[in-house]
Amino acid sequence: MTETRLLTDHQEIRDWAAARSGIPAIRDAEELIGSDEPVLSIRFGQHAYEDDDHQGADRPEDFGGPRLVEWDEWFALFDQEGLGLVVAEDVPGQRDEFHEIIRR
């Protein structure tokens, strides 16, 4: 079982994400059925970007996907909701992207 740690410090979270080419994202509540709160995530690599070739003419650009945001906007919601980021302990020579956003 992999050891984990809880991150709440903004700079630590930014550094962790940057080491893995992570980008902050938010999926707005109105896009989610049965939810009244936006959902935070961190997107990595090619998964961070939508493929424009699959966009239909009658479909909004960001339909069904998270919206990439600046860290300031992401952290405002992170702090407002009292969240924490659980990540795998660093292992030399590995960059594990495992993470989970939880309530503190």
Give the C-alpha separation, 64 to 89, whole Å. Answer: 32
User: Does residue 7 sit in helix, strand or coil?
Assistant: strand
* Domain locations in the chain as residue ranges: 4-103
Tens of pLDDT along the chain (104 residues) come to 579 999 999 999 999 999 999 999 998 876 556 667 789 999 997 655 555 444 444 545 545 678 999 999 999 999 999 999 999 998 888 888 999 999 99
Taking alpha carbons only, the member of 27, 40, 31, 102 closest to residue 71 is 40
Give the C-alpha separation, 75 to 80, whole Å. Answer: 8
25 touches 48 (CB < 8 A):
yes
This prediction has a pTM of 0.77
For the CA atoms of 91, 94, 95, 97, the dihedral, rounded to the nearest 10 degrees, stands at -80
Q: What is the pLDDT of residue 63?
A: 54
